[in-house]
Structure 1
Amino acid sequence: MIANPFVYEINTWPWLHDVGERCGRDVALGDVPAGEWDAIAATGCDAVWLMGVWQRSPAGVAIALSDNGLVDTFAEALPGYTSGDVSGSPYAVRDYVVDDHLGGPAGLALARAELARRGLSLILDFVPNHVAADHPWVAQHPEVFIHGTTEDLQQDPASYLEVDGQVLANGKDPYFAAWTDVVQLNAFSPLLRTAAIDTLLQIASQCDGVRCDMAMLMMNDVFARTWGDRAGPRPRNEYWPIVIRAVRREHPDFVFIAEAYWDLEAGLQDQGFDYCYDKGLYDKLVEQQGADPVRGLLADDRRYQSGLIRFLENHDEPRAAAEFGDGRQRVAAVTAFTTLGARLIHDGQLRGLTTRLPVQLGRYPHQSDDTELVDFYQKLLAVVREETFRTGRWQLCDTRGWPDNPTSQDLIAWTWTGSTRWLVVVNLSAETASAAVSVPWDDMRGKEFELIDDTRGLRFTRKGDDLRNGMFVELGPWLWHLLRVDPIDTPPSEERS
């Protein structure tokens, strides 16, 4: 995958249902109409993440339907849902084989070929921490699981499950209640690490990369804190470097993306991940923490930032249109889509959909598009598909104020330099803000430039000396400039005068 890519996430099961409704027939991965793939390619994305293609667990479906809290979320997201709409969690994997409902392995192979024909890579899921209770390993390799006792089951039935005469721990992280539809794998088990490598090699033959669910849970420190003595002796080596190196010996360009939290992104990058979720930027934008925390994050090491994946929504987070509102989503999107690293777009985000679908449901509710937001995203994506936003040099700009200007620090600015030049300035506050913005280009003196923002229909002419020394910029609340900086050719006679 190229540098600073755009990844388009599709919740595969309900997406195929929607495609089928548009076509008037059942649709699986192998017979998706070409126009659907064309529409995704037209966004300018570089890869598609087909979330949730592996076999679902019938046992997981039954557990979901018996969970009153979960059922309440089903009814809220999809009024009038039926049990037939509950397909089961894609993260309660029964087996790493493409679900027949989605078209099976042959269907996935056809879908991959269609994506490749359009220059798009394919990303799939890998769930390292747990599997469904009816996964074949439960019977074949019980030693790769965290076990409990009959007493554990009696005292804490929400955290343990009896399967085939053995008590297994439900999957969990150290901060929340257990996930009752899955059983916990033992990251310290040598046999599990071998099995994970075999599984990933099988997956790698079908796609170009994986998004690894809750990847930090398999780090030695985290796993030991979560499971203590139940996990057995702590191994000398970490899980991920062993697994990733083994896969890359056979698939050198295979991409690993980590769902990561708790400030463990840098550690996972060191262990071999190409990209890690940037929950930090997301939280700062959602919580309206202002410009300084975002500026501090963007001032971090460029190599580290290049290994982050920025997002405004995904299948785990609320829809951006609901979380940010109309105005703030635009400036948040400009911020996330024009910084270093990978950028994630969730299917439906570009349409302004507001309902987050629980992952266990296989059908979306009918929602209307936000036509103004659709128009904004079309303009934004048309700009950021330009090659400089992938292969160019990114640099944070200096913004400074003056004694009677308390708003200057509300603006953040950065540039991209490549085959074209871009200047991005954002106001992450609810007040009008102004500052002097200096670009890091030394070859601008004595020249004039046209600054063009196609996302807002703006055009300015500025002297290169002003751009270099400090150009006055004023932006209203939650506004931005996404400016292409083009030199203006000056006739020789004018240059002499």
Structure 2
Amino acid sequence: MISARLAPALHPFNQLLIAASLLLAAACASPEGIVDTGATAGRAGAFAEKAKDMTIYEVNIRQHTPEGTFKAFQQHLPRLKELGADILWIMPVQPIGELDRKGSLGSYYSIKDYTSTNPEFGSLQDFKELVQQAHALGMYVILDWVPNHTAWDHAWMQQRPDYYMTDSAAAVVGKNLGVAADYYKTRGSGKLVYESNWDDIALLNLYQPATRQAMIEAMRFWITEADIDGFRADHAGHEIPLFFWEEAAAALNPLKELFWLAEWDEPRMHLVFHASYDWGLLHLTERVARGRATADDLHEHIRKDLAAYGQGAYRLNMITNHDENSWSGTIRERYGEGADAFAVFSFTAYGMPMLYSGQEAGLNKRLRFFDKDTISWEDPTKYGRFYGRLNQLKAENQALWSGPHGGMPEKLEDGNPEVFSFRRSKGGNTVIGIFNLSANAQRIQISEAGLAGSLTDTFSGSAYQLDQLELAPWQYLLFVQNE
């Protein structure tokens, strides 16, 4: 969902969520409704192995082409395959609510019907054909899933009002999470708006067994009917109990190998999900770009993140997405002259990389979120080649693979807090990265065994001595060694 709804890692009541969940469960759900999912129900392990060297590509169907349709986007699949995109995360494809719609076209995340397609994008058959062609090219498709709210004109509002949160249930949440009274806002029949500033959506009650079952069946539809390969879960931990995801995984993983990506930043999500958002790293890189934090702060973040999540979690490392682009600014607006350095960082230093529609063409505008705003694919700065090269480096170097399949990030002592220097090694493959993450020239000295002598930068082909190195502003170097 979008940044105005508050990034999970920064939410003021995030730390109290579990305690409130227990209270709300007692108020709103029957204990017998929670099934025993078993110790291994959550993970489709085979897909985690497959995804070890993959890049995720977020698809904004509305803005990707002038037509804004599945069929028009389908023409881009061969190009994306050549780029090195492996997993296509497609933003919600369902019909958008008309009641209290925002802008002329509405928010993707205000869903009117979970089991049909937005007619502006095309038919269900069109979507199936898109998935089929992606599969034929060796790519996978995961669908953006919005589990905790619907549009006000979703049929459930009339047919199953018990699926929704009531003001009395929200009072339990608000009291125990310290949420201000105006955070929730009632509208008709005592049902709730998700947040007071998002009046186009109504909050579902996933503590109710019937709501959870209906949601799981809707998810099942897209696997059995369209053969999708998994889900990106919108706001995956915000007022959504973890046992919902356990039940969903237990029901859906047996159907096929699925990939699960959580838009949330808590270790507990990895009881079910393969990948999660490293929101903290994204926003820290933005602060470094503005001179408000240093490269050493990035090392400290990665150290703490590994301690909290372990090596098995795939942590999404990105410099833009639909939230950041539309609400915070373009890559150049947020990273300035350091944009390319942070792009290389996101593919090499830590985690699983992600690209957003248009990023590979140097997207230079904030895409409107509720209206048509087509991406330009002219790519005058040749970013397609740049990101293609990064995808190739990721795939060809085992040290850069995700989770336990890649090398653990190791800080190289360079004697300069403005320079990020790392080494990752796995299976006889070593990658060394050196990034001047400042607007000033920097000097470093690295004198460690195995790093003496001349090393060749993979981008420029130039040779460098690490024991006495001068770096231009925002300069980055990447060295590959193989045994």
Q: What is the match of residue 254 of structure 2?
A: 249
Q: 1:48 to 1:107 in 2, by over 3 A?
A: same
Matched, 1:168 2:194: no
SS in 2 for 1:54: coil
Aligned residue among 425, 434, 438 for 1:425: 434
Matched, 1:280 2:280: yes
Q: 1:169-248 alignment to 2 at 5 Å?
A: 169-172=192-195, 177-205=196-224, 206=226, 207-220=228-241, 238-248=243-253
**2:332–2:364 Cα contact (<8 Å) kept:** yes
Cα distance between partner residues in 1 of 2:388 and 2:163:
48
Q: 1:144 to 1:312 in 2, by over 3 A?
A: same
Structure 2 counterpart of 1:281, which letter? L
Matched, 1:316 2:319: no
Matched, 1:54 2:75: no
Q: 1:12-31 alignment to 2 at 5 Å?
A: 12-16=61-65, 18=66, 20=67, 28-30=69-71
Measure how far apart 1:383 and its partner are.
2.8
Segments of 4+ moved more than 6 angstroms? 155-158
Structure whose CA Rg is larger: 1
Q: Deviations over 1:20-71 (max 9, x none)?
A: 4xxxxxx74246564x21111111121111213111122243xx24xxxxxx
Structure 1 counterpart of 2:347, which letter? F
Structure 1 counterpart of 2:474, which letter? W
Cα distance between partner residues in 2 of 1:366 and 1:373:
13
Structure 1 counterpart of 2:52, which letter? A
Matched, 1:291 2:340: no
Question: Which consecutive residues of structure 1, in runs of 5 or more, have no partner in the other structure?
Answer: 21-26, 66-85, 221-236, 463-469, 488-497
Residues matched between the structures, number: 407
Aligned residue among 477, 480, 489 for 2:476: 480
Measure how far apart 1:126 and its partner are.
0.9
Q: What is the match of residue 21 of structure 2?
A: none
**1:400–1:409 Cα contact (<8 Å) kept:** no
Cα distance between partner residues in 2 of 1:94 and 1:107:
19
Cα distance between partner residues in 2 of 1:387 and 1:110:
33
SS in 2 for 1:371: coil
Structure 2 counterpart of 1:94, which letter? K
Q: What is the match of residue 231 of structure 1?
A: none
Q: What is the match of residue 371 of structure 1?
A: 381
Structure 2 counterpart of 1:343, which letter? P
Measure how far apart 1:292 and its partner are.
1.9
**2:53–2:401 Cα contact (<8 Å) kept:** yes
Q: 1:341 to 1:179 in 2, by over 3 A?
A: same
Matched, 1:130 2:149: yes
Aligned residue among 66, 69, 83 for 1:43: 83
Q: What is the match of residue 59 of structure 2?
A: 10
Structure 2 counterpart of 1:238, which letter? F
Measure how far apart 1:103 and its partner are.
1.9
Question: Which consecutive residues of structure 2, in runs of 5 or more, have no partner in the other structure?
Answer: 1-46, 172-180
Query: Please, which moves more after superposition, 91-100 or 421-430?
Result: 421-430
**1:383–1:454 Cα contact (<8 Å) kept:** no
Q: 1:314 to 1:33 in 2, by over 3 A?
A: closer
**1:399–1:436 Cα contact (<8 Å) kept:** no
SS in 1 for 2:112: strand
Q: What is the match of residue 93 of structure 1?
A: 111
Measure how far apart 1:4 and its partner are.
4.5
Measure how far apart 1:190 and its partner are.
1.5
TM-score normalised per structure 2:
0.76
Measure how far apart 1:416 and its partner are.
4.0
Q: What is the match of residue 266 of structure 2?
A: 265
Measure how far apart 1:353 and its partner are.
1.6
Q: What is the match of residue 8 of structure 2?
A: none
Could you say what the CA RMSD is over the residues aligned between the two structures, in angstroms? 3.0
**2:408–2:424 Cα contact (<8 Å) kept:** yes
Measure how far apart 1:334 and its partner are.
1.1
SS in 1 for 2:83: coil
Q: Deviations over 1:421-456 (max 9, x none)?
A: 3222222233333444467xx8x69xx987333323
Measure how far apart 1:159 and its partner are.
2.1
Structure 1 counterpart of 2:80, which letter? I
**1:284–1:290 Cα contact (<8 Å) kept:** no
**2:112–2:151 Cα contact (<8 Å) kept:** yes
Structure 1 counterpart of 2:442, which letter? A
Query: Higher strand share goes to which structure?
Result: 1
Sequence identity (%)? 22
**1:397–1:438 Cα contact (<8 Å) kept:** no
Q: Deviations over 1:383-411 (max 9, x none)?
A: 3342523375313334235xxx6x26633
Measure how far apart 1:203 and its partner are.
2.4
SS in 1 for 2:371: coil
Measure how far apart 1:219 and its partner are.
4.3
**1:393–1:417 Cα contact (<8 Å) kept:** yes
SS in 1 for 2:113: strand
Measure how far apart 1:130 and its partner are.
0.2
Cα distance between partner residues in 1 of 2:132 and 2:384:
28
SS in 1 for 2:120: helix
SS in 1 for 2:192: strand
Measure how far apart 1:360 and its partner are.
1.6
Matched, 1:361 2:371: yes
Structure 2 counterpart of 1:485, which letter? Q
**2:57–2:354 Cα contact (<8 Å) kept:** yes
